[in-house]
Amino acid sequence: MKKKRQISLLGKKSLGLLTLERLVYWLTTMGRGVLVIVEFVVLLAFFSRFWLDARNNDLGELVRQRRAVLATMAGFENDFNQLRARANKAEKYLYGEKNLVYPLALLSRSLPPGLVVQNMSTDWQLPSPRAYLVVKVSSPESLAFFLQRLSRVKEITKVKVSRAEKKSLETGTSVNLIISFNRLMNKK
């Protein structure tokens, strides 16, 4: 029996004689190695995509949580900033104006018995610092006495009665006053 021969497409000449044949042999063997390495890199990229997707989802969730926290804190921050502005304004009046107590002391010393201050607001801005009073008077004599005392104080430039309203005999008369102070009071 005859031996079966394998079919060779390269021919019967031995490899290695021609440089072109050596180059083709080297490229085919190295090409296989390069293909294996490239396939390995592609597989690594494919599997690392799952890890990167999970990491991206975690970071996205963290960003959404932080945005929610910031959105809920925005209202608190606005309230806090408004409160801080009010506190700064009060601090300016208390520490910036050294004569804030002096005009109030002038008014309190001039109050006669039978006159009650219901409401008081102030505007200490130049050129004319003012105090706005709502007083309740039990008798016209006590109002006249109060106005007369205020007109004698040299730091007060003007006293104006803006409105007087009598509701009943028991409650007395409600009077709105605007008291203008001297401009020099802020320098004391």
pLDDT, position 187: 46
Is the per-residue pLDDT at 175 higher than 80?
yes
* pLDDT for the residue 6: 75
Q: Report pLDDT digits (tens) over 74-105.
A: 888 899 999 999 988 877 766 655 555 667 77
Rounded average pLDDT over 120-142: 81
| Mean pLDDT value of segment 2-25 | 70
Which amino acid, one-letter code, is at 38?
A: V
pLDDT at residue 188, rounded to an integer: 45
Task: Name the residue ranges covered by the structural domains of the chain.
Answer: 16-96, 98-187
The dotted CATH code for 98-187 is: 3.30.1360.100
Q: What is the 3-state secondary structure (H, E, C) of 18-83?
A: CHHHHHHHHHHHHHHHHHHHHHHHHHHHHHHHHHHHHHHHHHHHHHHHHHHHHHHHHHHHHHHHHH
So what's the pLDDT on residue 132? Answer: 85
Instruction: Select the more confidently predicted residue: 125 or 44.
Output: 44
The share of the chain scoring above pLDDT 90, in percent, equals 20
